[in-house]
Chains A and B, each alone.
Chain A
Amino acid sequence: MTAHDPVITELAEANPVSGETSSDPGDRAEAERIMRRVLAGDQGPPPQRWRRSGLLAPVVSVVVVLAVAAVLLRTGGSSHGSPSSGGSPTITLVAEPTSQTPRITSSALTRELSLVRQRLATVNRHFSVTRGRGNSLVITVPGASAAQRARLLALVTQTAQLTMYDWEANVVAPNGRTVAQDLRTQSPAVIALSQGANRGAGQSGAGSLPLYDAVKLAAKQPPRALSPSMARMGPEYYMFGAPSSPACAAAAAAAHTAPVPGTHCLLAGPLDLPGHISRQRALQAFATQLSAGVSAAAGQVLAVPQGTRVLQALAPEQVDAASPAAQFFVLRDDVALNGHDIVSPRRTADASGQSAVSFGLTAAGERLFQAATRAVARRGDEASTLGETLDQHFAIVLDSRLLTVPSIDFKQYPDGIQTTQADIAGGFTRQSAGDLATQLRYGALPLALRVVR
């Protein structure tokens, strides 16, 4: 009665802890400690942590509650802090080479300037950008609020590589196979990833994973030979700290946050390093990224091989990728279309007047789009059985973040979508449709930008 019950299925997908045997050294040490504690005799001292001193415990509790009350009183019971003042009217950024543009040239800087100017205009028309000394750009933001400054910094520091994937053909299930490979099994994990578990495909909670689990799954994928359809070249390295480890505590302190109990923390990365390197070499490369007080030796290094990507899930509210609340999917890196295949994205309205996003396709993009959507539609037709429709999806990705994962109606488009202009509709507000159109318009910045002042 329960195998396909939607409530049970959705709860199972939100299961925060795997019950599988852990290979983490910290977890295994804990298991051995517990075994020794039990076998050493049950007359030993009471456990320290939860049989705390009867005298001290209330004192600690009272201090904690008073601190919480003080915070709540200061914020008026709201979790949102008050906005701070705008700060300096200029922001200086320095351009750095990327894998796409390994040398900083005058023409690359000119294109960078033009794209940054376009992006700034989406925040405030009065913001401007000029070339500074050397390879720097100076942005002038008169009267900008802290929120506006944060938004524009997020905008201009994204190199913005726009890619599109056949979702089910690339998203990887916990067993390491793609959803498309196992669609016939209709296992709960596969159905959650494909049909989105009451939320929508690609959404946080619809089969998504915390970063550590996603990177661990991705790291088990075999490396694939470089091909033109890949968005990334070479492996990508991450360094994690063990749950409740001193390294996680030190990293959290450096970031002015609190470590999240029971979860691995990201100490450094992701880092692109050429080819396969030794653990020692990876540790050396990470050393410059580590927070003060964190030793490289304390970290667990995981490498996501070429041909696999870890992408941040969609969420009702944007979550920073470094936040413990962020969720991720693992995808094979077989890109169907790139940002340069689409033109003139804009907010529009569908037939019922609801906000939507429309974009045109180049001649090459038109062919690629039809081929990709044909594969998606045919799989949807094959997977759907009488009375049950399993629509398949197309994912649009900006850098390492999913932007939207729309479905394709295989009954309407059995041979894919042949068009010069595509529309994405459903579930958009005026604001979210405008934001998506802006993100599609970004175009890839040729150079990376780092804030220096």
Chain B
Amino acid sequence: MIHNKKLLTFVGTGGVGKTSLSLVVAIQAAKMGRRVAAITVDPSRRLSSLLGLQASENQSKSVRWSSVEKPVDVFYIEPSEVFQGFVQENMKAEFFEKIQNNGIYRQVSQNLRETHNFAALYKTEKIISSGQYDFVVLDTPPCHQVVDFFESPARLQRFFSATVVSDKKGWLSWVQEKGMQVAEKFLKTMVGDDFVSEMDHFFRLVGDVKSQIDQTSQGFISQMQSSDTSLQLVFPPARDKIQDALFLNKEISDNKFKVDSFVLNRAFPVGLDFSEEVALPEDGREKNLYDYYRVQKQRSEEILKDFRSKQVNSDAQFVRLPELHQPMETLEDVLSFSEKVNAHWEVL
């Protein structure tokens, strides 16, 4: 999956191991001599300090291992800074100055999920098109719903298309012209005049960057749909998470993207050999736990079989990874983890 791809993206709900797996793949690609960038939005504090990144700072760092041919350039994205940078780059200077003081803009740039997603894909686009890398790994941002990420370009386009109507006369007069008394009443009594005028102001200013947002979104969508992009869906062996994964896969294909690998991560503890004789007292807690882990290992194969029968893209890979015990204290530990994953990557 590394050889003929340019962009590799991990998706999945929170806590399934996306960030660690994306580093693993990045290291493996660097070992093959490829020029690699790894992009992450929300690394854990431990991981950032291991890699020498300062959290809350928008930056990149070249990470080297003596036994790995090429370095891995890790990019840590601070979404609101990236978005601010995008707006500054594409907006007339006088507008940019004004928009800084707009309360709605501050909200949009700091708290809007679509903005965060947009920042991640904008940065990814930039890194790919810089031509400095031949392999980019993207760890998708943590979303309320993972599918938000894939829909964010379309949503953002819809969001900014509201500015079309407000170009000259302003947004509020548009509402009045449309004769939306309920809307007016709602806005005045529940939201308040101050808020409405801030919003009106915001719309007038932000119209300036609309076409650039369209362009970036389109670029990212075609990159995601192209054959040199690979999507990896990661999920754990828990009943409700499998439902989530099936749902996510459906949403992904509805949006005309395609999952290449389904990765069942931490399927069972590594190194447990359930064929050996273990004498344990019946009905004890330890016996229960033993049986629990044994069944879990058996079930992981069934889960993947089940998954295979339920989803549509028949040429996809099904991968099972055990839970690997690897302390993460040093950079060398990250490398050992990568080696272990590589050794245990079991295609079923």
A and B are partners in one complex rather than unrelated chains: no
Q: Which residues of B does A touch, CB under 8 Å?
A: none
